[in-house]
Chains A and B, each alone.
Chain A
């Protein structure tokens, strides 16, 4: 890496901003250039970045992050119902309330580490999920999910005309590309904060906790406040992601809190590369992209793809690959995930690094040969 320019944070931010804002242009050729999918990229990107701030930096594996996602969604929808359809208050309230939840859950869970921490977060997540389905139905509307209705008060907006109002930012409707750009701005902000945390003394302390917490304690640091701060920040990211889900589609259901949803963000972070800046983003993008492509595929489409094969072979290939697409997309995901954990624990980012080192190695050794040859000639 002989490019000092790329080490400059402001250059990284500038490139990142441009890349995100022009996403509709460069995603269209690969068939992902429509707003719904790009919104998902941005939202899950935020979720994964936030999760990475906890897991990647401190090594604490939370299996309950979906709680904050759910809390964010519910809060945003309630804000739409009670106050106004403007998205700004919704986002702010969601982040704050998710933060409050994170303080409580984090304060208790962080008293233990390792697998106990994972199980504690999991237990809190299951409790919230079960309660959201049963007793808290007045707040969450149970299985149906929380939705907007015609007779919501919406005190700041006043009475509505025809039909359900849509979410807006000072009059700009948050659907389609507008929605995407709102999420994109949030993603850029989130990424910027995460970058600053990575580079800050605070981030370094978190990394030190990951590598050797005992030593940190012996040097006189009380590690718990740092861990709790990281946990709360990470929870707020999840709350933001949850509120953005409600912004782009104003309903909230309890299944967002299920532990499989927590598992998904773990998958994304690991797949991309935990503890790296861009890894979680890659992971979120890859999973959502392939989910979109794979789950839309069916046998007919597969027959088209493999039409160049002889008929008997085509049928066999389609029968086998058919298990992995459409409904079977989760099978592919599970396999992919296992392969990454087994062979490439550093995720995609690690893979890129290894590949570039390998390529560089080839060039270098051939360069050495040239030098040796010229030396011989002399």
Chain B
């Protein structure tokens, strides 16, 4: 029982990341009809927003190390610590959460520029060409990041107070062995909040209503005198922000490197397909579902029965879904059911 509960928890945080990326992907597909292979790169850029801010905050100068008295020793001390003392140290410690503030405008800008500069010209082109050009863009983005930050993963720790594990088992009365890293719990909460916010935005605002109507029947909405294109551009920006935020908060869990976007992209495409192309609820449900499924498949007991299942389970599910029920778990009938 404990073990099963633990596996579900383990799957949830990864599932949260899948869900967030897939949400943006399917949002873009549902509104703009564009298959965006560069979406994983946006996730990666978000993670590197966190790295960049940390680098900026820890710009240091050489100061004399007072603790060593035998000889003149120097150490690097960040300006923030010199100027603000303990408060500066705290800011540096909290750099990952703070970089959310940086990531929102930056990712929004990147998203808007991408849509206006490139994606806009590909609405009328076949899916294959959309895939190809965004694939090219993904390569370019990750190579730019590589040339700035190098090829190695860069660890970026979460704030000190979140470093341990949460005694979830004790809280829920399940047993001592059920523990769960605080930061993953935070990530789970965070992804829940973002998903909720996106849905609320689409459900309860006029803007969201127009977007939903546009997803359903773009032409009619256009005929009503509403500038759909304009709204959809903003939707692309929002999708970029969602992917970016998923990346920022994921940085402490997985040290970001330049090709993490590609790794997640393939998986999130699978998630989108399993959930149903263009279905937002499906993307979220499938994200968490596949996350949990993967974590169950990597249990030793399961691996003993079917060796290698943990490596292929997600793809296997995707293959079965596409072959048996191509519109996915929650896809609308008739959408991409070819």
Contact = CB atoms under 8 A, between A and B. Distances in A.
Interface in B100-141: 118, 121, 125, 127-129, 131-133, 135-140
Nearest to A105: B319
Given A126-B315, A334-B136, A337-B136, A116 B147 contact: no
A293 interface: no
A130 B270 CA distance: 15
B229 interface: no
Contacts of B61: none
Contact of A115 (B127, B137, B146, B307): B127
Given A260-B262, A263-B135, A116 B140 contact: no
Contacts of B140: 331, 334-335, 338
A334 B269 contact: no
A135 B311 contact: yes
B312 A59 contact: no
Contacts of B147: 323, 327-328, 331
Given A333-B139, A338-B136, A112 B315 contact: no
Nearest to B319: A123
Nearest to B318: A123
A114 B335 CA distance: 13
A130 B294 CA distance: 14
A275 B304 CA distance: 47
A134 B132 contact: no
Interface string B296-308: 0000000000011
B180 to A, nearest CB: 26
A127 B139 contact: no
B171 interface: no
A61 B143 contact: no
Chain B contact patch, size range: 35 or more
A153 B165 CA distance: 53
A270 interface: yes
Contacts of A119: 269-270, 273, 318, 322
Contacts of B277: 115
B35 interface: yes
B326 A112 contact: yes
A120 B139 contact: no
A116 B338 CA distance: 8
Contacts of B319: 108, 120, 123-124
B336 A334 contact: no
Nearest to A263: B135
A72 to B, nearest CB: 21
Interface in A107-149: 108, 111-116, 118-120, 122-124, 126-127, 130-131, 133-136
A111 B266 contact: no
B316 interface: yes
Chain A contact patch, size range: 35 or more
A52 to B, nearest CB: 14
B56 to A, nearest CB: 22
Given A61-B131, A119-B270, A122-B269, A341 B136 contact: yes
Given A270-B132, A331-B147, A341-B133, A115 B311 contact: no
A190 interface: no
A259 interface: yes
Contact of B273 (A116, A134, A136, A333): A116
A266 interface: yes
Contact of A330 (B35, B139, B273): B139
A345 interface: yes
A286 to B, nearest CB: 15
A35 B138 CA distance: 33
B183 to A, nearest CB: 27
Contacts of A338: 133, 136-137, 140
Contacts of A114: 127, 336, 338
Contacts of B73: none
A373 interface: no
A325 to B, nearest CB: 11
Given A260-B262, A270-B132, A112 B323 contact: yes
B144 interface: yes
A159 B281 CA distance: 64
Nearest to A130: B311
22 contacts: A112-B323, A112-B326, A114-B127, A114-B336, A116-B273, A118-B131, A119-B269, A119-B273, A119-B318, A119-B322, A120-B319, A123-B270, A123-B318, A126-B266, A135-B307, A327-B146, A328-B147, A331-B140, A331-B147, A335-B140, A337-B135, A338-B136
Q: Which 7 A-B residue pairings sit nearest by Cβ, starting from the closest?
A: A135-B308, A334-B139, A130-B311, A331-B143, A338-B136, A334-B140, A123-B315
Given A127-B315, A330-B139, 16 more contacts: A112-B322, A112-B326, A115-B127, A116-B322, A119-B273, A123-B318, A126-B312, A130-B308, A130-B312, A131-B311, A136-B308, A331-B144, A334-B136, A337-B139, A341-B132, A341-B136
